[in-house]
Amino acid sequence: MDKRENILFTDTFEVKDINKGGKVFDRVSRIDGRSQTHDMSLILDINSELYPVDAGDRFKLTLATSLSMGDGNKEQAAFGKGEANWREYVGGEERSLADDFDYVMFGRVYRYDDAGGSKVSAFVSFGGLLMCLEGDIRHLQNFVVGDTLYLLLAKLGNGAMAGVTGVSIIFPLDMVKTRLQNQKPINGKLPYSGGIDCFQKIVRTEGIKGLYRGLVPNLAGVTPEKAIKLAVNDIMRGILADRAGTTIDRLPVMQGALAGATAGLCQVIATNPMEIVKIQMQVAATTTTQSNGTAALASEVTAMGIVRHLGIRGLYRGTAATLLRDVPFSFIFFPLQALFAQKMHARLHGDLGKPSTLSVLAGSTVAGIVAAATVTPADVIKTRLQSSVQPVPAYRGLGDCARRIWAAEGPLAFFKGTVPRCLTTAPLFGIALMMYDMQQKILGW
């Protein structure tokens, strides 16, 4: 639970049903929800005009004794326990909890049912709109009949819009990165002397369209990939924060790393098929050959053609290398992002509240550079394994690929494409998390 004394309860809920027993009042929806961390059940009346919800929506619910960003003692001293007035508080210039939420109500605990077991129920009235929160007594033990509290809701998005936006902006850099990592000497000379040369040659020989080859399958895959990664990281941080007795924003670095690694592990389900199709389309213009040995047109290589050729098993070729890249990346990125974003916010705004959008962007970008550079060797191996053209004999796996790259090209080959990879991955995750943050603040979903 949150260490701040004014936070009674916080968790993420999913809307399971709306107005199950029929509509209660005009412009009021009664929602049935289930929490994702504490296994709590919720029945809550909300103003459907101010806060419309649909079945399947996810939202963060926080119950607090005050709207103070601190422990709430100062506010309680000013108004008296149970007599706080949210209008007076919000009217001031001081930042409050309400700034981080979409919907706020003020009410009073009027009933507390404890049958003597581990499950209890707390009932709160918000001017006639009712709430029943039921679950383990450990999470509801601080509720007292007659006390006042604030209910705060914030809708949570799925990360899909964030991922699509980021990928679309930086995809040309990803194309350059893949070409650099996959290039091999021809007559003793590499096709590209660097990132700028690679970019210029792609535009000159394939046109601007060539920079976006493989974008469609990447967009199709990035939606579930970013949704899985951001959602799993959020859920795991919530679980670990609860076990550590702290807030998500103050989660210890190692536990934040564990949450990130779990997210990276889960995302590979969507990442590997997307990556192998994208890579084979990206290198098609330079390496595609037909079975009779003649050069094939890059336009003849399609995403569906690659999928049919590879089959389900083939789509997961190089999974070990993908895991070797994505799990350490997430292990490094997510705790650093949270740390850098919080430090940046504190420097810019002088408080420890929820990081601003600019702070999220800056923190994500710096963390992305560090994480991307660190795992570039694994990304080089993955690109070679998943490329459509293999050496003779073909790579037999991750270890064989690594040994042969070292023997033929030296250790520096493992860092091919580091600069474009950093320029790709850092902005991608910076934009993705910034959009994720803005999506929740502005769009409300």
| Selection from 40, 11, 39, 6 nearest residue 132 by Cα | 40
Kindly report the pTM of this predicted structure: 0.55
Within a domain: 345: yes
pLDDT at 150: 95
Within a domain: 230: yes
pLDDT at 223: 63
Under 8 Å between Cβ of 440 and 157:
yes
Q: What angle do CA 45, 38, 99 make, to 5 degrees?
A: 55
Q: Which two tokens stand for residue 79?
A: 């108004």
Same domain, yes or no: 210 and 240: yes
* Stretch (H or E) spanning 121: strand 119-126
Within a domain: 349: yes
Same domain, yes or no: 136 and 168: no
Same domain, yes or no: 180 and 79: no
Instruction: Count up the domains in the chain and report the number.
Output: 2
Q: What is the pLDDT along the chain (445 residues), one digit of tens a residue?
A: 444 578 899 888 989 999 887 877 888 999 999 987 778 999 999 998 888 888 888 888 999 999 886 544 444 433 334 444 444 444 445 667 888 788 999 999 999 998 667 889 999 999 989 999 999 888 888 899 999 999 999 876 555 565 666 677 778 888 888 888 888 777 878 888 888 999 999 999 888 888 888 887 777 766 677 667 777 887 888 788 878 777 676 778 788 888 888 888 887 877 788 888 888 888 876 654 333 333 345 556 777 888 888 888 888 888 898 889 888 988 898 888 888 888 888 887 766 666 777 787 888 888 889 999 999 999 999 999 988 667 778 888 899 999 999 998 899 999 998 988 888 777 666 666 666 666 555 544 4
pLDDT at 122: 95
Report the b/e string of 212-227 with b at 16+ CB within 10 A: bbbbebbbbbbbbbbb
Coil vs helix vs strand at 284: helix
Output the domain CATH number for residue 89: 2.40.50.140
For residue 107, what are the domain limits? Answer: 7-156
pLDDT at 92: 46
* Stretch (H or E) spanning 108: strand 103-114
Q: Which two tokens stand for residue 272?
A: 């590997």
